[in-house]
């Protein structure tokens, strides 16, 4: 089976891989919306959506069959999985109004423009690793390129254009204000975000080695043997991780930084005039950004697919292979690595929602003050301190 797959033309293989990743990421992003509803509900002391059950007749019968499985069906119903399907169906089939006063072309372009960077950044994120025939660790990624993080930042920052476009094309005041806020906020936090990851790459690119911005190499440098080789960068560079996390919240428009949306003072911000499928595209894009952003955070600071600090994936697989030999096959190992990685990402998705119900929204000027007067100086100081420290350590 593997031979057959690897004999396919490269272009077709890439197309298949890309399709699979999008087919996983898109529903995952949609599932995040249900997770959001459930976690909100639990934090607020209510059960959340737990009633929807598809009928056993009609074209939903397969779902209905699943729902009628005794324990699993009830569990899925309680978790609102079928509500998710119903929501998806509603967003797809309901009337999609375009208000008369909007700039039609850009109005329709905006949600599409939000999806493109959201789904294309994932191409540069390695989400697992396996041993190839030669026994080398190979990343599971759509595009394992040396520009890695730079490409993610370059593509990810395009996402703000969709918000500006949406705000401007809506041709009404609240979306416009939302768009303006989005542009100001995302640009200011982009600076701190980029500066905060520099120490990591200063450390990874030791003098004499080959320079790289690859995320795979960052994980590799966190899975070395020895005490300092196995530490995750969140322990050695906590300030960087902290700044990156805060900037991530701001970049993905999550509370307490959801200035562009800000339903209390801006109705709905940039998406006030949107409805139905176009609206849902904005949110799938937001969740996709969250997933990719959390993924990057895990790769940079939390050791990617390594299960624990000082316990690398390779060690784990070697240990497991003694008990169960099949785990060292590429398929199994890849699945284990992806599982560990997705587990960490899942925790961050939960963290995003957890913070949402803990912190109130900042005022707009507070967001700007925090970004420019606190985070930016902090990230510059952090960079200088780590640059000097790394220079001292690596040239010793």
Partner 1 sequence: MAVVTVERKPLSFLERTYLPNIAAGLATTFKRMVQPVETLEYPEQRPAIPAGYRGVPTLVYDPNGREKCVSCQLCEFVCPPKAIRITPGEIAHDDANAHVEKRPEEFKIDMLRCIYCGLCQEVCPEEAIWLQNQYSMTGYTREEMVNDKKRLYELGGTLPDSHFKWDKKAAAEKAAHAGGHH
Where along the sequence are the contacts to partner 1 (CB under 8 A)? 39, 41-47, 354-355, 357-359
Q: Tell me how far, at minimum, the Cβ of 193 lies from partner 1, in Å.
A: 19
Give one word for 45, left, alpha or beta, with left for phi > 0 and alpha for psi -120 to 50. left
Q: How far apart are CA 232 and CA 257, in angstroms?
A: 27
Whats the size of the chain, residue-wise?
396
Which of these, 359, 360, 358, 347, lies nearest to 35 by C-alpha position? 347
Smaller CB separation from partner 1, 93 or 357:
357
Could you say which DSSP state residue 311 is in? B
What is the nearest approach in angstroms of partner 1 to the Cβ of residue 81? 18
Query: Toward partner 1, which CB reaches closer, 274 or 362?
Result: 362
Q: Which is nearer to partner 1, 23 or 381 (CB)?
A: 381
Q: Are residues 23 and 31 in contact, defined by beta-carbon separation less than 8 angstroms?
A: no
CB of 235 to partner 1, least distance (A): 18
Nearest distance in Å: CB 378, partner 1? 10
Q: Which is nearer to partner 1, 106 or 354 (by Cβ)?
A: 354
Shortest reach from residue 244's CB to partner 1, in Å: 16
Tell me how far, at minimum, the Cβ of 349 lies from partner 1, in Å. 15
Nearer to partner 1, 228 or 357 (CB): 357
Closer residue to partner 1, CB minimum distance, 44 or 210: 44
Rounded to 10°, the helix 148-156/276-301 angle is 150
C-beta of 208 vs 360, nearer to partner 1: 360
Which residues have C-beta within 8 Å of that of residue 115, sequence separation ≥ 6? 281, 284, 285, 288
Q: Which segments of the chain does DSSP mark as H helices, in order?
A: 2-7, 10-43, 61-67, 70-78, 81-93, 104-120, 148-156, 159-169, 173-204, 215-221, 227-230, 233-236, 238-251, 263-266, 276-301, 313-323, 330-356, 364-369, 376-394
Instruction: Look at residues 300, 310, 285, 298 and name the one whose alpha carbon lies nearest to residue 342.
Output: 298
Rg of the Cα atoms in the chain: 22
Closer to partner 1 by Cβ: residue 202 or 378: 378
Minimum distance from CB of 66 to partner 1 (Å)?
A: 22
The distance of closest approach from Cβ of residue 45 to partner 1 in the complex, given in angstroms and rounded to an integer, is 4
How crowded is residue 366: how many other Cβ atoms within 10 Å of its Cβ?
A: 13
CB of 242 to partner 1, least distance (A): 9
Distance (Å) of CA 349 to CA 15, 140, 298, 356: 28, 21, 12, 11
- Please say which residue, 106 or 242, places its beta carbon nearer to partner 1: 242
State which residue, 106 or 350, has the beta carbon closest to partner 1.
350
363 dihedral zone (left: phi>0; alpha: psi -120 to 50; beta)? beta
As a whole number of angstroms, the distance between CA 306 and CA 203 comes to: 19
Q: How many whole angstroms separate alpha carbon 359 and alpha carbon 290?
A: 18
**Cα–Cα distance for residue pair 212/94, rounded to 1 Å:** 47
- Nearest distance in Å: CB 375, partner 1: 12
């Amino acid at each position: 089976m593997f031979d057959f797959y690897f004999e396919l033309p490269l272009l077709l293989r890439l197309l298949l891989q890309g399709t699979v990743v999008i087919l996983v990421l898109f529903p995952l992003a949609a599932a995040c919306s249900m997770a959001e509803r459930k976690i909100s509900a639990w934090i607020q002391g209510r059960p959340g959506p737990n009633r929807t059950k598809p009928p056993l007749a009609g074209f939903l019968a397969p779902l209905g069959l699943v729902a009628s499985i005794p324990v699993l069906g009830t569990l899925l119903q309680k978790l609102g999985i079928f509500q998710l399907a119903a929501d998806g169906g509603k967003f797809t089939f309901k009337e999609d109004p375009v208000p008369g006063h909007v700039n039609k072309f850009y109005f329709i372009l905006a949600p599409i423009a939000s999806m493109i960077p959201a789904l294309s950044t994932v191409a540069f994120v390695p989400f697992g690793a396996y041993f190839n025939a030669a026994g080398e660790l190979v990343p599971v990624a759509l595009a394992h390129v040396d520009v890695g993080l730079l490409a993610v930042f370059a593509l990810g920052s395009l996402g703000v254009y969709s918000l500006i476009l949406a705000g401007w094309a809506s041709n009404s005041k609240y979306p416009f204000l939302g768009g303006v806020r989005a542009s100001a906020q995302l640009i200011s936090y982009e600076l701190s975000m980029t500066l905060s990851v520099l120490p990591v790459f200063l450390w990874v690119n030791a003098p004499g080695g080959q320079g790289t911005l690859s995320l795979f190499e960052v994980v590799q440098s966190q899975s070395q043997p020895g005490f300092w080789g196995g530490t995750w960068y969140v322990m050695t560079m906590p300030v960087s991780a902290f700044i990156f996390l805060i900037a991530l919240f701001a970049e993905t428009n999550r509370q307490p930084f959801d200035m562009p949306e800000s339903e209390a003072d801006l109705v709905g911000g940039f998406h006030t005039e949107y409805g139905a499928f176009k609206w849902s595209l904005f949110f799938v894009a937001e969740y996709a950004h969250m997933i990719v952003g959390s993924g990057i955070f895990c790769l940079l600071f939390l050791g990617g697919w390594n299960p624990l600090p000082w316990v690398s994936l390779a060690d784990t697989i070697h240990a497991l292979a003694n008990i169960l030999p099949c785990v060292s096959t590429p398929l199994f190992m890849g699945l284990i690595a992806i599982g560990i990685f997705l587990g960490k990402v899942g925790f961050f998705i939960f963290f995003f929602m957890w913070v949402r119900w803990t912190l109130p929204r900042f005022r707009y000027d507070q967001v700007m003050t925090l970004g420019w007067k606190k985070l930016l100086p902090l990230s510059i100081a952090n960079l200088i301190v780590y640059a000097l420290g790394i220079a001292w350590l690596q040239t010793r």
